[in-house]
Chain A
Amino acid sequence: MNSAIVSLKPEISADDFDAEKIRADFPILKLKIDGKPLVYLDNAASSQMPQQVIDRLVRYQTTQHANINRAVHYLSEVATMEYHNARCKLQQFVNAREDREIIFTSGTTDSINLVMHGYGRKFIKAGDEIILTTLEHHSNIVPWQMLANEKGAKIRVVPINDKGDLEVDEYEKLFNERTKFVGLIHVSNALGTINPIKHMIDFAHQHGIPVLIDGAQAAQHIIIDVQALDCDFYAFSAHKLCGPTGVGILYGKAALLESMQPFKGGGDMIASVTFEETLYNTIPHKFEAGTPPIAAAIGFGAAVDYLAAIGIERIAAYELSLLNYATERLNDIPGVKIIGTAAEKTAVISFTIDGIHPHDIGTILNQDGIAVRTGHHCAQPVMQHFNVPATSRASFAFYNKKTEVDALVAGIKNVQKVFL
């Protein structure tokens, strides 16, 4: 059984979730757009930041900032300690064994590129095969394509069915003696499908193959336990978890990280440097060349504290109630088609409206203050499967409420009226 799926069907009821109280934490939600209250339904692209995280950034910048791991002065020691504390918060958040298994990166894309350069370029050779899925975001396709072209390796792709579920049987058939790596998205950004990653990781491990999980769309909705999952790498970004942009993490098993070559060269990632030779630092420092985004990492720590205090299970239960309500309401509108109807989904609804281009939908919804994403969602293979150039996507967070679903429904009806 997938632990990820268990967490979406918790014993906790959505009824005791006080969305209004939570909304008060998010100053941006008070904004008016062209006189209309902001209805922010683009959380899969980036979530908003609560006052608690904003305050933490201000406190760091006001009283704690200096460069880290260097000087002996007071501020440098405080900043170094707070940055380390943030790493420990992330370690706890994903239940990693050790804090050195958490690498701060600039985000999910950077994390995946780190694995491609550090692991892929060292261990993947001509003729080897890398398994990816149709649901991958471009950020978990393009780096591997670059590697495959450089090495003469091959990409194999797990297909999806018309609900947007991975065809797991086909995944299992892709394994052979040439298989060397698996890259797998935990939750589809375009459709919301939650993939059975535990099963897929176990299957890969039966063949001795390491697995990277792109968790950019998962960690804010599903409890991540990297030890229970036994994934080899897990990546996600702060800004989708109510944190700042410009920072994310790569979790990696310590032994794997130690076996890898550095991705970027520079300060802090070295033990010693001469012009003849450089000895690399230990993990995680080996992978954190240059001054890291210190403030953003500390903000990230505050953001996961904020989420953990509310409780990811409670968040998941509430978001599921929003998803079910929104699915029901959108299904009732003639001409609206939901793309992606997997049984296990996060609160993401991709949809099309007959005869109306998603960009026109997005622009007209915007005039009602409703923010949705329109386009291919950096997942063109998914769009190709459903034979649409683009969709509109409403993605919900725990600070959204049912009346905002109603606003979306009214907005869609208005779009249809304009094009009548």
Chain B
Amino acid sequence: MHTNSLYQEVILDHNRKPRNYGKLDHANHQAVGHNPLCGDRLDITLQLENDQITDIAFQGESCAICKASASMMTATVKGKSRLDAETLIHEFRELATGKLDTTHPHHLGRLTVFSGIRDLPTRVKCAILPWHTLHAALNSIASTSTEANHDSAHAISSKS
């Protein structure tokens, strides 16, 4: 793959002008996601009412791929049910790791601009981090990491 096809205008635009950037004051779910390989960090705050995401915001320090992924994710899941969001999380992870069977119907729409990431294994985690963090927030896991085996990061401190 030629990398130019990853840094497409839509991704660059979301990086320049991220949607839903910031922190919700009235959030009832939140999580922090870390990518320890690069030090990136992402905060997600969201308002869940009757199992529907009525509002969502993100902020953090990250690369363009991660920021654009977070921006497009928040724009996509806002107003959706928790179940729909979980479906999207699953489909996006499959897309980014090259496992999504695109001959079957899916719900990703414009998010397929990230399909090229599958050819850059070192960058897959950048794209997935926001989705990973959203999953943690929806499931009331306060902190997560791209290196977590499951959903909560249990880093062992050298002080213990």
Interface residues, chain A, CB within 8 Å of chain B? 34, 142, 145-146, 149, 356-360, 363-364, 366-367, 374-376, 380, 383, 389-390, 418-419
- Between A and B, how many residue pairs show CB distances below 8 Å? 52
CB contacts (< 8 Å) of B126 on chain A: these are 359
Contact B123 A359 (CB under 8 A): yes
In-complex Cβ contact of B120 among A146, A149, A363 (8 A): A363
A34 touches B2 (CB 8 A): yes
Please state if B12 and A375 are interface contacts (CB–CB under 8 Å). no
Given known A359-B65, A389-B61, A390-B39, contact A364–B158 (CB-CB < 8 A): no
**Do A419 and B4 have beta carbons less than 8 Å apart?**
no
Query: Would you call B111 an interface residue if the criterion is a C-beta within 8 Å of the partner chain's C-beta atoms?
Result: no
Q: A366-B3, A375-B37 are in contact. List 4 more A-B contacts (CB 8 A).
A: A357-B63, A357-B64, A363-B123, A418-B7
If A363-B123, A376-B39 touch, does A357 touch B159 (CB 8 Å cutoff)?
no
A418 nearest in chain B by CB position: B7
Chain B hits for A34, CB < 8 A: 2
Chain A contacts of B63 at CB under 8 A?
A: 357-360
Interface residues in chain B, defined as those with a beta carbon under 8 Å from any beta carbon in chain A: 2-4, 6-7, 12, 15, 37-40, 61-65, 120, 123, 126, 158-159
Which 7 residue pairs spanning A and B have beta carbons closest together? Answer: A357-B63, A389-B39, A367-B3, A359-B63, A360-B64, A145-B158, A360-B63
CB distance from B106 to the nearest CB of A (A): 26
Chain A interface SS verdict (over half):
helix
- A367, B4: Cβ atoms closer than 8 Å: yes
Chain A residues contacting B61 (CB-CB under 8 Å) are: 389
Instruction: Give Cα A375–Cα B12 distance, bound, in whole angstroms.
Output: 21
Contact A363 B159 (CB under 8 A): no
**What residues on B are CB-neighbors of A357 within 8 Å?**
62-64
Q: How far does the alpha carbon of A356 sit from the alpha carbon of B15 in the complex, in Å?
A: 10
Contacts of A145 in B (CB 8 A): 158
Q: Which chain B residues lie closer than 8 Å to A418 at the CB level?
A: 4, 7, 12
A251 to B123, CA, bound (A): 39
Chain B neighbourhood of A363, CB < 8 A: 3, 6-7, 120, 123
Q: Which residues of B contact A376 (CB under 8 A)?
A: 38-39
Show 27 A/B contacts (Cβ-Cβ < 8 Å), sorted by A: A34-B2, A142-B158, A145-B158, A149-B158, A358-B63, A359-B65, A359-B123, A359-B126, A360-B63, A360-B64, A360-B65, A363-B3, A363-B120, A363-B123, A364-B3, A364-B7, A367-B2, A367-B3, A374-B38, A376-B38, A376-B39, A383-B39, A389-B39, A389-B61, A390-B38, A418-B7, A418-B12
Q: How far is the CA of A383 from the CA of B61 in the complex (A)?
A: 14
Per the bound structure, the CA–CA distance linking A357 and B16 in Å amounts to: 12
B95 to chain A, nearest CB (A): 18
Q: How far is the CB of A145 from chain B (nearest CB, A)?
A: 5
Do A146 and B39 form a contact, CB below 8 Å, given A363-B3, A366-B3, A418-B12?
no
Measured CB to CB, the closest approach of chain B to A150, in angstroms, equals 10
Complexed CA–CA distance, A389 and B35 (Å): 11
In the assembled complex, how far is the CB of residue B40 from the closest CB belonging to chain A, in whole angstroms? 7
- A389 near B12 (CB under 8 angstroms)? no
Within the complex, the shortest CB–CB distance from B102 to chain A, in Å, comes to: 23
How far does the alpha carbon of A418 sit from the alpha carbon of B9 in the complex, in Å?
9
Of A364, A389, A418, most B-chain CB atoms within 10 Å: A389
Cβ contacts under 8 Å, A366 to chain B: 3
